[in-house]
Amino acid sequence: MARGKPLMLQEPDADRITSLQRRIGAKSKVDVVRQALSLLERRVARADRDRRWARAVSLAANESRRVNAEFQSGSLLHTDG
């Protein structure tokens, strides 16, 4: 069976992993690290998605303002012409 790579931890970090292992009922410390990595990956993916949405909204808002201004300048509702 292939073995993974060793991970060198500071003592306080190892203690935190052990504490979390007991609290979440994980079978091993590796399970704790895997769960933590999964949570972090989801958080990063969400942050990436939020940034993409914010950029898309910004681009769409700019275009929408331009189109609205263009529409209003040629609108038949204006009586000042």
Does a structural domain hold residue 15?
A: no
Does a structural domain hold residue 77?
A: no
- Confidence (pLDDT) at 75: 59
What is the count of structural domains for the chain?
1
| 41 and 33 Cβ atoms separated by less than 8 Å | no
Does a structural domain hold residue 4?
A: no
Largest pairwise CA distance in the chain: 84
C-beta pairs of 12-16 under 8 Å, 24+ apart in sequence: none
Does a structural domain hold residue 13?
A: no
> pLDDT in tens for each of the 81 residues of the chain?
778 888 899 999 999 999 999 999 999 999 999 999 999 999 999 999 999 999 999 889 888 888 888 777 765 565 555
Does a structural domain hold residue 16?
A: no
Model confidence pTM above 0.75: no
Does a structural domain hold residue 30?
A: yes
Q: Which domain holds residue 45?
A: 22-72
- Confidence (pLDDT) at 54: 95
Does a structural domain hold residue 36?
A: yes
